[in-house]
Amino acid sequence: MTDKKSSPHSSHALSHISTQLIHHSYTAPSEFEAPQPGIFKASTVFFPNVAAMRQREWKDKSAYTYGTHGTPSSFTLEERLCALEGGSHCVLAPSGLSALAVVSFTVLKSGDHVLLPDNAYGPNKVLAQGELKAFGISHTFYDAMNPADLAAKLQPNTQLVWLEAPGSLTMEFPDLIELLQICKQHSVTQP
């Protein structure tokens, strides 16, 4: 029979072990170098105090404040993608919906119109029906398998047409070339 206080399964022992696992004493040396960059998969970033946290700027990639704002791993990947694609800037988004929102909020403003395929990724539909609508941006759904439907639903204020191939969940594959030609004829952006 074991004493409850000394049992490794007691809540006191688990709390103590958990604390040791989180607040361990090892820190990797800053001078460690390897041909491949380290992988930093963290959302939490430590600061000596709140003032130091508020002084950090993450938008220019000179510091880290929160994992979804970027880590050494994501900043390295962004720079390497720029090198591969010949780009000057790259932004990795922490989720599919945030990537879609970045495009929509970059291209659209109040009074604009966006067309989405009726088989679009569900969260993009919700974004259009909620946040974009709240900003005065209207939307219409079109049949991605019918290019004539896309052409008929274009409006003078259409600034963005979403194309999706294959269609979300339904997996149809529209005629992207024809859809792109229609968008180009009307000088509409298509991501």
How far is 181 from 147, CA to CA, in rounded Å? 10
The DSSP letter of residue 132 is I
How far is 178 from 161, CA to CA, in rounded Å? 13
CB pairs under 8 A, 24+ apart, for 57-66?
none
How far is 55 from 77, CA to CA, in rounded Å? 25
What are the chain's domains? 38-92 (no CATH), 96-185 (3.40.640.10)
H or E element: which one contains 140? strand 138-142
Point out the residues of the chain with pLDDT beneath 50. 1-11
pLDDT, position 184: 93
How confident is the model over 27-46, as pLDDT tens digits? 667 777 777 777 888 778 88
Torsion region of 104: left, alpha or beta (phi above 0 gives left; psi -120 to 50 gives alpha)? alpha
Whole-model pTM above 0.75? no
- Look up residue 125 and give its two tokens: 């539909």
Question: Residue holding tokens 């460690």?
Answer: 32
Indicate the residue type of 87: G
